[in-house]
Chains A and B, each alone.
Chain A
Amino acid sequence: MKLTLRIWRQAGPDAPGRMVEYEIDGISADMSFLEMLDVLNDRLILDGEEPVAFDHDCREGICGSCGVVINGRAHGPERTTTCQLHMRAFHDGDVVDVEPWRARAFPVIKDLVVDRSAFDRIVGAGGYVTAPTGSAPDAHATPVPKADAELAFDNATCIGCGACVAACPNGSAMLFTGAKIAHLNSLPQGTPERERRALDMVKAMDALDFGGCTNSGECVAVCPKGIPLTTIATLNREFRRASRPLW
């Protein structure tokens, strides 16, 4: 398979960036998208050029490290992580645009690598539970209704890749923050900090460069884990519940 790649190249956070065109040949349909970039980088290195910087780690769709905008869509044409996208989703002769996540809260570090530590700061504000450590709790000491467990698990599948922010016209992190709040607030283990979590995580999110939600739903269209739009409703409900006057 022969492709024309147009890739965003940016030497550093403050350097100007631009799309650079590369012709690439001999791409197998069985390669992953990242393996295709590996092939390109191998060639660039041997030609004495700077390879394209991109984030990746597990390449199994579970770590949330990878993620680029492919042909204008976060993670590309299929609803999956970039690492789980295969070249069979493309055709010989295609022109493929590859850009980093575009959001004010995710500044570009280099080429396709962005700084997503804003997510860490949101999680640091309340994405945890108080738990006694040091000895094993009795099994079934804390019963969890099946429906609650499933709701928590569905939201816990969020890997924090940032596609939701990249896809949102407002650069909003409400799907991500909602997933974290819905995950912990629907479990008994998360109850002690339930109100504070909702308030603190939303406050942290608002203090960063994320926009607000206007229900465009672009986030759920690209979320590789299928976090539903109702998660944002859960976030709003938890926030309102925690904000009620305390009289």
Chain B
Amino acid sequence: MPMRIYPAIHYTMGGLWVDYDLQSTIPGLFVIGEANFSDHGANRLGASALMQGLADGYFVLPTTINDYIAHGGRTDVPPDHPAVVRTEAEVTQRLTALLTVHGDRTVDSFHRELGLLLWDHCGMARNEAGLRKALDRIPALRAEFWRRVLVPGSGAELNQELEKANRVADFLEFAELMLLDALVREESCGGHFREEHQTPDGEAQRDDANFGHVAAWEYTGQEPVLHRENLRFEYVHPTHRSYT
């Protein structure tokens, strides 16, 4: 029987902002592998992911995290530190919120609906109309999640549904950002193929003059703020991919 293959959404191809030491905006929080900015092309994502995890862990982190610790990296955060107290209160409040909705839809049903929405409108090929449609739908879906989600059990024991609900709540935020980023980037580049931007033979049409940058979106709790980090190529310059 021939092997059946099917494309699927499995990489966000973007993650937390880090500096050259792989440190995030939170001092002492280092982010390696797929969870950070991600080196990705148009395909072979699994290999890119492995490459990044290995390169970060093998070559970068051993020289940067040591430096952080050597310079007195914090290990002595007391449990009554204001940041700990505030974070604990936030987490407790969020878990309580999820557990007390007592709605009529499972976490999985929201996860599936969100996944299908992204699959339809933010898949390998995307266009403005589809992205806008999905962006319109997500706030309503998120509101519905917080109104109708059904998380059984309590927070006092192993509760896989609670864990999943936490993740899906994050996915709802992250999906919106992915859509926004895909909408703003008016070019085709790597895994981002905007149907409006293609060469006559259907290849990705980049716009280096306007989009030769990495988009770093700042979380503000409201509208995310875009920071452009320009890409400078000194010796090797990007060209157009062509298999002909």
Contact = CB atoms under 8 A, between A and B. Distances in A.
A109 B158 contact: yes
Contacts of A134: 59, 62-63
A130 interface: no
A133 B152 CA distance: 46
A50 B158 CA distance: 11
25 contacts: A11-B157, A12-B157, A42-B106, A42-B109, A45-B106, A45-B150, A45-B152, A45-B161, A46-B106, A48-B152, A50-B153, A51-B152, A53-B158, A53-B160, A109-B158, A113-B158, A131-B58, A133-B59, A133-B62, A133-B63, A134-B59, A134-B62, A134-B63, A135-B59, A136-B59
Given A42-B108, A46-B150, A110 B157 contact: yes
Interface string A113-135: 10000000000000000010111
A49 interface: yes
Considering the complex of A and B, which 10 residue pairs feature the smallest CB-CB distances, nearest first? A133-B62, A110-B158, A45-B106, A134-B62, A134-B63, A133-B58, A42-B106, A45-B152, A53-B160, A109-B158
Nearest to A111: B158
Interface in A84-116: 109-110, 113
B59 A51 contact: no
A150 interface: no
Contacts of B58: 131, 133
Contact of B108 (A12, A38, A133): A38
Contact of A51 (B62, B104, B157, B160): B160
Contacts of A110: 157-158
A160 B14 CA distance: 29
Nearest to A43: B106
Interface residues of A, number: 19
A115 to B, nearest CB: 10
Interface string A44-72: 01101111010000000000000000000
Contacts of B150: 45-46
Interface of B: 58-59, 62-63, 104, 106, 108-109, 150, 152-153, 157-158, 160-161
B158 A51 contact: no
Contacts of B106: 42, 45-46
Nearest to A137: B58
Given A12-B158, A133-B62, A135-B59, 15 more contacts: A38-B108, A42-B106, A42-B109, A45-B161, A46-B106, A50-B153, A51-B160, A53-B160, A131-B58, A133-B58, A133-B59, A133-B63, A134-B59, A134-B62, A136-B59
Contacts of A51: 152, 160-161
B63 to A, nearest CB: 5
A50 B152 contact: yes
Contacts of B158: 12, 53, 109-110, 113
Nearest to A12: B157
Nearest to B102: A48
Nearest to A56: B160
A49 B153 CA distance: 9
B93 to A, nearest CB: 23
Contacts of A42: 106, 108-109
A50 B153 CA distance: 7
A38 B111 CA distance: 13
Nearest to B161: A51
Contact of A49 (B59, B63, B152): B152
B50 to A, nearest CB: 12
A48 B160 CA distance: 15
Nearest to B158: A110
B85 to A, nearest CB: 29
